[in-house]
Structure 1
């Protein structure tokens, strides 16, 4: 039964139910806004939800019933989302809450603007051999493709996703990697044929990409950089020496990096200038030296930053501008940010957000030496009888048909993200390495980490949301280190500008507004722009038991064993998270918040998500690491890794600039004479 058929069969009952969630007043009720169309669309995407909706139809609309609570939030998601999802005809709810997708003063240029076109190779056009194959096209993969193609090598980039246009990735508020409504994002991957599993006690649960524990990172050309928020922090000196600084707590596998901040600083500078970063003149008290300022000044900021800056002064906290991989001025041939309301989770309408797809990959294609194969996956790395990597096996689907192809390569760079890079090495078994390439000491897949986030949300008596994207304009870095009794810490920053559907989810999730009814609707109208979030990641204390393995009993659509997660975060991570939440609440109260909700509670399962790192740890000892200090897999001189999986620790900040920098360092070593 299709979603539309089900909705039509129960239209009268559903109309009454959705209007209990959002009754009519001067603004449309849920049914008047199109809630039934929205439900039909959603159930076509998630037919497994039909029975749950049927339980609501056949049951009671009791606020305490879990199915009713889920249904009320789903209907509200459609009401506050974009009209394309069917539940917000005319997008009247946006006017109600005072939100608009474009800049506060309107667009200065037509949107979307054209973007550079990739050099795409069809599967039938694949060569038998390339000088180098790069697996993945995100931050690390783009750097690898650019550096290798620039050195004269013939390069093939293999990308599991597509290269969607800006319009496809700039509209949908529900199918968005920043949203958690249970529907797979348009930036990929789809729920169909992309399972993972997770250990839950004695059972193993099946996950789909729309599941929170799947640890989604965008599967599209440019990877996560296509739709990220683009915070561009450097790790600081202590972030490279966590074990030496703090010791190794019980149950942890905390370790130092094999090199320090000073070693990486020149590549941080290169990343900032070659990709493009805007920011202020200081990185805060725990930062290392920098040889050169940012290439662009910070983005303009408004009343929200001014309010928080005054509050920080009262609390004695230092503050900095948030560095962003976003153009504050025209840079490298592309436009400046227009400060619209659809940034994090979306492709930039004016192409002012700097990612792999419009910087590194574009330069790689311009050499004439690089091409990209889309909608394809490297199933395994191939080795010869001596154990040397000689190429890859690629699988894909073209014109409705699945295909498999062996392609030879002199060198391979793996940059598929911490989860998929580990999965690839584990699935590349041979007689010489029966447990997977580089896994002779059982290190591949261990030390999975991401970022546990702390924070708080506050309600104010007056409007504090100035509508200026991307949102993060002020941060304190005071608590990255030096907190008594705590190992490491993290930054605090005002959050990205949120879509109305996400604002509803935040307010309901923190208990600041009711879930349904006219009171909920009026609270959204009154409080959406009078609310503010401060959030921040903490540096996790890694554990060897937080890991990725492969599950031979669960395969993807091409028959490749799926990633299998087990383990969890360290207790120190929860403690640091709680400190971050308390500090965030104090900052909001000092800024005038009259009601504040802090983020606490248990952290279930492994960490990962879009900041995933650590599964192919870098080091100097093959017994405790997977790659050497320049990214070579131990025992394989022609196999390198150039993504966040090599991170020993992941900093108390967003890691993408460190991925760019370490990848540049790795590829420079690779193309150097004798490299």
Structure 2
């Protein structure tokens, strides 16, 4: 034994035998033959807490309480990318007929300088800037661009790093849309930045209830699926349309679709969206079509389109922030099968990091500091915001500096933006900036998803990425007594490792043994998933607080969650799942599993929103219609936390649009 290999040879030999019960040999390698022992050994430096689990499995085999976990980890390595060590020669990919590369082969690599960037080392920070933007995702990128192009000297503060395309492109198990217990490479990658659940349980970023969004330059837009839906007119008028369900805090927005339409158009053209001429039923009017046609699609789209027609509902292409042709100096998508949760090898997925931030840096007036957090906003004796305290760690040494600015934009995501305001106290606002009415952190929402998984007799996965090619928008509104609704679309091409988890969870294949291996061989390309987010009924009790007794490595109180989703959300989810199942059966599925089950805790995750709600009255909102925190002319919020409701679609285009509207007002239209 050694620190690098803490289990003895006999234990590894026993584990090798047991993993071959999970994936036995046939004409393709068993788990141990494919490198499974080396794969598990490589994980222990990252997850030393798994040592005892493996020892228990070696002693007790299938009787161990950890057997199911062991089986899933072995399978994860076997079906994941070869670089993880458990899939030697990509044998399992050949077995199931899956490939990562596009049908035309990989394109030439994008040059190493993927985007112009101006990174400043913490030691070189100036004491004052015209503006500080906290967070570099969708809203932060727009803010940095708009302010820099208007002549401001801007510092962007990013908690994560700026990994290369290659670093974020290939690892199937450290993908933020996977759940293998390993830290996502898009961050946070350490277990010290914890959060607390309502019952006092401390969770790390490895736990789904942490409600992760990427911590990296570009934020979630670096690795998102990039669905680019507009909210519909009724999405801004949910309370007026449906009333307010009991126990909900459902409310209308202070702005309308018409107010936001010009900024939707700007986002589509300035960032880059491909898709069809309209968003289908319930969509608002648009003054201009999208700048790029929809990505090409294959046989599964035609199958689903014919099935939808037979059922009598309409379909549209899925709008994507992905180039279907060269656009604004960036390549077209080569349609590989590694999209959601991965960076784009073509740099054709349009996120903050390669669009708005690039423009900001091109002015020469914007810088970004990485690996840095804002621990609190600074105020003067009158309670006016004058800057931020920044903290970070360089070469194992924690540093802390107060940086002043005339204007502050907070774009850290709904959880961290609320946490920052709650941790920023003054005599004028002892419970946190903007929180004198106890509203900061309330109305946390994300998206509950409905959907279904279908199995087919013939091959239906055509391996034409990214995957989403067809959606119905008919069910966004007025679905009987359901409040709201949402879209339903075909899903991204799944990695084989994730497909294993989907098939096991649905009960379609066993977790272990020859039948599991044969099931993967048969169903990886004979299965389809349809999914869609639903409108959530916001609740004042679904919220983010800070926990004074639990602090991060810099001594800052961490976020604490409380509350739960509303019963109406589960009804809408189940409606979406039933409709998805009906669509799959009409398309020829011979077996269908509709998603359901109980849900605990509040909703958040990558679509987190609502904690700093927009309104027209400071007594019932945190910010005005331009994202200004009430009582603070120079403090604005530009992210999903200002959303009053979060739509029955992916919200990122609305984050881009509201930020464009806010920064235009902030700069006097001089952008």
Closer, same or farther in 2 for the Cα pair 1:51/1:259, shift >3 Å?
Answer: same
Q: Does 1:637 align with 2:633?
A: yes
The alignment partner of 2:440 has SS state of coil
**1:2-41 to 2 correspondences below 5 Å:** 2=3, 4-6=5-7, 8=9, 10-41=11-42
**How far apart, CA to CA, are the structure 2 residues paired with 1:396 and 1:60?**
44
Closer, same or farther in 2 for the Cα pair 1:6/1:140, shift >3 Å?
Answer: same
Question: Does the aligned pair in 2 maintain the 1:112–1:167 contact within 8 Å?
Answer: no
Aligned to 1:626: 622
**1:375-524 to 2 correspondences below 5 Å:** 375-524=371-520
Gaps of 5+ in 2: none
Shift of 1:105: 2.2
Deviations along 1:399-453, one digit per CA (max 9) or x if unpaired, are 2211000010000000000000000000001121111000000000000000000
The alignment partner of 2:499 has SS state of helix
**How far apart, CA to CA, are the structure 1 residues paired with 2:577 and 2:257?**
28
The alignment partner of 2:13 has SS state of helix
Q: Does 1:42 align with 2:43?
A: yes
Shift of 1:217: 0.4
Instruction: Give the CA RMSD over aligned residues.
Output: 1.3
Aligned to 1:198: 197
Aligned to 1:103: 102
**How far apart, CA to CA, are the structure 1 residues paired with 2:288 and 2:257?**
15
**How far apart, CA to CA, are the structure 2 residues paired with 1:113 and 1:455?**
39
**How far apart, CA to CA, are the structure 2 residues paired with 1:74 and 1:115?**
34
**How far apart, CA to CA, are the structure 1 residues paired with 2:112 and 2:92?**
28
Q: Does 1:217 align with 2:213?
A: yes
Residue in structure 1 matching 2:590, options 582, 588, 594 = 594
Closer, same or farther in 2 for the Cα pair 1:393/1:182, shift >3 Å?
Answer: same
Shift of 1:117: 3.4
The alignment partner of 1:45 has SS state of coil
Question: Does the aligned pair in 2 maintain the 1:3–1:42 contact within 8 Å?
Answer: no
Q: Which moved more, 1:314-323 or 1:5-14?
A: 5-14
**How far apart, CA to CA, are the structure 2 residues paired with 1:110 and 1:227?**
18
**How far apart, CA to CA, are the structure 2 residues paired with 1:501 and 1:111?**
27
Q: Does 1:579 align with 2:580?
A: no
**How far apart, CA to CA, are the structure 1 residues paired with 2:587 and 2:633?**
55
Question: Does the aligned pair in 1 maintain the 2:18–2:61 contact within 8 Å?
Answer: no
Closer, same or farther in 2 for the Cα pair 1:7/1:225, shift >3 Å?
Answer: farther
Q: Does 1:248 align with 2:249?
A: no
Deviations along 1:122-145, one digit per CA (max 9) or x if unpaired, are 111111100000000000000000
Aligned to 2:155: 156
**How far apart, CA to CA, are the structure 2 residues paired with 1:588 and 1:54?**
43
**How far apart, CA to CA, are the structure 2 residues paired with 1:552 and 1:112?**
46
The alignment partner of 2:45 has SS state of helix
Question: Does the aligned pair in 1 maintain the 2:110–2:347 contact within 8 Å?
Answer: no
Aligned to 1:536: 532
Aligned to 1:184: 183
Closer, same or farther in 2 for the Cα pair 1:208/1:2, shift >3 Å?
Answer: farther
Question: Does the aligned pair in 2 maintain the 1:112–1:166 contact within 8 Å?
Answer: no
**How far apart, CA to CA, are the structure 2 residues paired with 1:395 and 1:428?**
14
**How far apart, CA to CA, are the structure 2 residues paired with 1:354 and 1:512?**
36
**How far apart, CA to CA, are the structure 2 residues paired with 1:112 and 1:590?**
45
Aligned to 2:548: 552
Shift of 1:116: 1.2
Shift of 1:108: 4.2
**1:299-448 to 2 correspondences below 5 Å:** 299-448=295-444
Residue in structure 1 matching 2:647, options 638, 641, 651 = 651
Runs of 4+ off more than 6 Å: none
Question: Does the aligned pair in 1 maintain the 2:444–2:609 contact within 8 Å?
Answer: yes
Aligned to 1:60: 61
Shift of 1:280: 0.5
The alignment partner of 1:59 has SS state of helix
Q: TM-score, normalised by structure 2?
A: 0.98
Question: Does the aligned pair in 2 maintain the 1:122–1:373 contact within 8 Å?
Answer: yes
**How far apart, CA to CA, are the structure 1 residues paired with 2:55 and 2:444?**
39
Q: Does 1:612 align with 2:608?
A: yes
**1:139-178 to 2 correspondences below 5 Å:** 139-178=138-177
Aligned to 2:561: 565
Shift of 1:60: 3.2
**How far apart, CA to CA, are the structure 2 residues paired with 1:332 and 1:117?**
14
**How far apart, CA to CA, are the structure 2 residues paired with 1:156 and 1:380?**
16
Q: Does 1:290 align with 2:286?
A: yes
Question: Does the aligned pair in 2 maintain the 1:78–1:86 contact within 8 Å?
Answer: yes
Gaps of 5+ in 1: none
Q: Which moved more, 1:302-311 or 1:396-405?
A: 396-405
**How far apart, CA to CA, are the structure 1 residues paired with 2:610 and 2:338?**
30
**1:247-266 to 2 correspondences below 5 Å:** 247-266=243-262
Aligned to 1:81: 80
Q: TM-score, normalised by structure 1?
A: 0.98
**How far apart, CA to CA, are the structure 2 residues paired with 1:2 and 1:274?**
52
**How far apart, CA to CA, are the structure 2 residues paired with 1:198 and 1:2?**
33
**How far apart, CA to CA, are the structure 2 residues paired with 1:643 and 1:126?**
25
